[in-house]
Amino acid sequence: MTQIGIDAIGISVPHAYLDLADLAQARGVPPSKYVEGLGVRRMAVAAPWEDAVALAANASRRLFATTGADPGQVGLCVVGTETAVDHSKPIAAWLHRLVGLPQRARSYEAKHACFGGTAGLLTAMDWIASGSAHERTALVVCTDIARYPLRSAGEPTQGAGAVALLVSARPRLLALEPGLSGSYTAEVNDFWRPLHRKDAVVDGHHSVACYLDALGGAYMAWKDACAASDVHGDLGRRIYHVPYGKMARKAHRHSRMLDGLAETEADATFAREVATSLAFPAEVGNVYTGSLYLALASLLHHEAAALEGQRIGLFSYGSGCVAEYFAGRVVSGAGSVAAQLRLDAPLASRRRCTVSEYESIRALDADADSRPLGQHEARDGEVAFAGVEGERRIYVG
């Protein structure tokens, strides 16, 4: 089988975060409900100039800066998002210029709730496997701002961030298994965002059930596909789409019980097989399309060296709904590549904001897309959404 997979990862998160114990106190909820009950600690809070385009550009720039990879080698760029900033113009068009991708690249945006990035990754794999890449790489960028109404049950499960993945025929992190995956689709009303809304509508408990149904369907389809192929091997680690940490815990129990383990046996495998992948998501919250890949970044940051040669399982879920289960093998040398990427650096240089600052930022949401030019903060080397001039979105940096 051709070796195709993830060569490098770049992350970008907003510069402010809210501590969820502070939010719990403000909402009159015991902090233990958020921290232990939902498995969340902090959530990223995006300022109006940290929109989905700026986050995508900053994650991609970071990827190229930390690896020295050449943006000029990119032949395909897919942006997965459910936080589109325009009904027509894709984030990929701005990204193409802001990152300096070649004109002879194909760039576009993919939407299916939290699945858009995985759709891009699977397409990138097939593009390389088909021979269309001609030695070029693919850039897949997942970028989102997760917003629920203030004081809703979903509020503590917000977040924001982007994860950029460089996909190549010489992957230095994770060799994927093209053609070997399990898919699942069903029309459900678990989570959606009507065109006029900035924040999502969610049927929370139903969404948990839909996620688990989709996991069961995709996982069993993947197991059948593996049984019919010559690719075998146990999964040393398992990572999941992480709307909040507890969901990944429920997902893991569900899939291990489908393997025939009793509930207590399934739970006993959680610490070894899943826990390190949840460290970054607990710092950032839900990043929708990027959540699975933030979990991958967390796993590789903490354990890549120890996992070289091991196979890991990945589960992607997009409400509405579609899901995919697939796997990859950590490449020899991935430990030193992951160390070079310094994947935790963007999480370290952030500022804790207060609940009232967070609420003031949310109050700006309604007018965010028509802000006049100039109301932004830009950091050195980083892209910011500077506002709108003559109906055109202007990015600086």
> Annotated catalytic sites, by residue?
82, 114, 241
HEC string of 25-81 equals HHHCCCHHHHHHHHCCCEEEECCCCCCHHHHHHHHHHHHHHHHCCCHHHEEEEEEEC
Choose one: 33-41, 104-112, 122-130, 260-268; the region binding ligand CAA (CB under 6 A). 33-41
Least distance to ligand CAA, CB of residue 377, Å: 28
Least distance to ligand CAA, CB of residue 67, Å: 28
Q: How far is CA 241 from each of CA 211, 215, 278, rounded to the nearest angstrom?
A: 9, 10, 10
| Cα 135 from Cα 131, distance rounded (Å) | 8
Binding ligand CAA (rule: CB under 6 A), the pick from 33, 89, 193, 198 is 33
Q: Dihedral sign for Cα 46, 48, 53, 57, please.
A: negative
| Cα 270 from Cα 250, distance rounded (Å) | 10
Binding ligand CAA (rule: CB under 6 A), the pick from 153, 186, 262, 268 is 153
Nearer to ligand CAA, 241 or 329 (CB): 241
- Position 222 contacts ligand CAA (CB under 6 A): no
| Cα 332 from Cα 363, distance rounded (Å) | 48
Residue 354, SS3?
coil
By Cβ distance, which residue is nearest to ligand CAA? 37
- Position 288 contacts ligand CAA (CB under 6 A): yes
- Position 36 contacts ligand CAA (CB under 6 A): yes
Q: Pick from 118, 258, 248: which is nearest to 181 by CA?
A: 118
Least distance to ligand CAA, CB of residue 203, Å: 8
320 backbone φψ class: left, alpha, beta (φ>0; ψ -120 to 50): left
| Cα 280 from Cα 282, distance rounded (Å) | 5
311-318: strand order across its sheet: 106-110, 74-80, 137-146, 159-168, 4-12, 174-185, 322-330, 311-318, 235-240
- Position 286 contacts ligand CAA (CB under 6 A): yes
- Position 204 contacts ligand CAA (CB under 6 A): yes
For tokens 């509020």, what's the residue? Answer: 155
Choose one: 7-15, 167-175, 201-209, 252-260; the region binding ligand CAA (CB under 6 A). 201-209
| C-beta separation of 274 from 239 below 8 A | yes
- Position 137 contacts ligand CAA (CB under 6 A): no
- Position 83 contacts ligand CAA (CB under 6 A): no
- Position 38 contacts ligand CAA (CB under 6 A): yes
Nearer to ligand CAA, 66 or 118 (CB): 118
| Cα 370 from Cα 366, distance rounded (Å) | 9
Least distance to ligand CAA, CB of residue 319, Å: 5
Nearer to ligand CAA, 7 or 82 (CB): 82
Choose one: 54-62, 151-159, 271-279, 331-339; the region binding ligand CAA (CB under 6 A). 151-159
The size of the interface with ligand CAA (CB under 6 A), counted in residues, is: 27
Nearer to ligand CAA, 115 or 127 (CB): 115
- Position 205 contacts ligand CAA (CB under 6 A): yes
- Position 241 contacts ligand CAA (CB under 6 A): yes
- Position 37 contacts ligand CAA (CB under 6 A): yes
Residues 107-126 that bind ligand CAA (CB under 6 A): 114
Nearer to ligand CAA, 136 or 238 (CB): 238
Distance of CA 340 to the CA centre of its chain: 20
Residue partners of 55: CB distance under 8 A and separation at least 6: 12, 13, 14, 46, 143, 145, 160, 161, 162
Output DSSP code: residue 253.
Answer: H
Interface ranges with ligand CAA (CB under 6 A): 30, 32-33, 36-38, 114, 153-154, 157, 190-191, 202, 204-205, 207-208, 211, 241, 243-244, 246-247, 286, 288, 317, 319
